[in-house]
Each structure stands twice: as structure tokens, then as C-alpha cells.
Amino acid sequence: MDKNKRNVMIIGVGGIGSYLAPLLKRVGTYSMFLADPDIVEEKNLLYQNFDKINVGEKKVNSLFMNGHVRNDYRIRTDACLRKDKMDLIVCCADNLDIRRLLYRQGFQDDAKVKWLDLRAQGRNGALISYLTDPKFSDMFLQGPEGSFSCQGEQEEITPESVHFTHVAVAGLAAQWIQRWFNGEEVKDKMVINI
């Protein structure tokens, strides 16, 4: 691990994470560690940052091979909460169980690790950080069990129906992360509706 780099774990490299990782990579000051067990599917190509040649590959491997992310190691989600390894953990996963795991790490000054929770669903998006008042945690953990798409409840995603809120959330997150590492003031949470 490079001590001069800012160590960021990105959990989930689908809708939001596949755009966030390349944005941070361009800055050149981040070592990114990716966690996502999913493979690239044809249906992902309309709204995730993958190409046709990546179909059938693990998402984390596709980002590495496309040159979007430094050739650091990939790590399992349950191992990412080690404070001595990560400066910031970013959840881009579409799963409430992973968010619950992250939120159990604490809020504000009591946070065992520093974390950022990103989400998008249809035209809505949110950025929630460890800086948020813990009284909101129950509200933020409402939603469907299991996985859900950043494209919302659409039965079929077509080129005409694609939402891009997840790309906006990735951009907001990249700016938040950059400012946070620079010691600048950041919002504890943001909610957007486009």
C-alpha cells in the first residue's frame, strides 16, 4: 500500500461505482480497492461504465483491464472495514445489508471508519456520510431487501428510458471525496431529484 496515496474502498462498481472509480483515478492521488462479486451483463451496458467486450467478466476485473483503476488488489467486502487499511469506504452497492454493515461502524466522532453511502434509483439520488446525525439512520435504511437497480422499478430498460442520476451522484461523490481529503468543509448528506 502506497503511504502517499489516499486509500479508498469502493463497494459496488455497477451504476455509480463504475463511474466513480475512473473519476478518482484521473486525479492520481487515490489507491482504490474494489469489492463487487458481480459480472458484467448485456443489460448493464446501457447505464454502467462497461463496454461490450466486458460482458461475462467480473466487474472489478473489467475496470482494471480497461485501465480505469490502478492495478491495486481487490478485496472482499467483509474485510474492508479495517480502519488501519482504508482512509474512506464508499458504498455504491445496491443492497441494504451492506449499508447496514457500514452504518454499524458509527456516525460522526464515534465512527470506527469513515464512510460515504451513495445511492440512485430512477431520478432520485443521495449522498450520506458518516458525518450525518445518527438519528436519521433508520430512515436511510428503509427500502427493499436484496438488490435493486439504480434505474428504478422499470421492467425493461431501453435506450429511451435510461436515467443518468447515478452518473450525477458519482460526480457529486468525487467532488465530496476530493474536498474531504483536502480538509475542506463537506455536507453531511445531499439528496437530489432530477
CB atoms within 10 A of CB 147: 14
pLDDT for 19 beyond 50: yes
Q: Which of these, 24, 32, 47, 7, lies nearest to 174 by C-alpha position?
A: 24
Structure-model confidence comparison of residues 8 and 143, the more confident one: 8
pLDDT for 1 beyond 60: no
Structure-model confidence comparison of residues 156 and 112, the more confident one: 112
Hey, what CATH class is 6-193 in?
A: alpha beta
pLDDT for 52 beyond 80: yes
Winning range, highest mean pLDDT, from 14-23, 30-39, 71-80, 142-151: 14-23
The pLDDT value given to residue 135: 83
The pLDDT value given to residue 76: 47
Domain boundaries, the chain: 6-193
Structure-model confidence comparison of residues 138 and 130, the more confident one: 130
Contact 49, 18 (CB under 8 A): yes
Quick one: average pLDDT of 10-39? 90
Query: Distance between CA atoms of 28 and 59, rounded to whole angstroms?
Result: 21
Sign of the CA dihedral with 96 first, then 98, 100, and 102 last: negative
Contact 74, 59 (CB under 8 A): no
186: confidence class by pLDDT, cuts 50, 70, 90: very high
Does an H or E element contain 190, and which?
Answer: strand 189-193
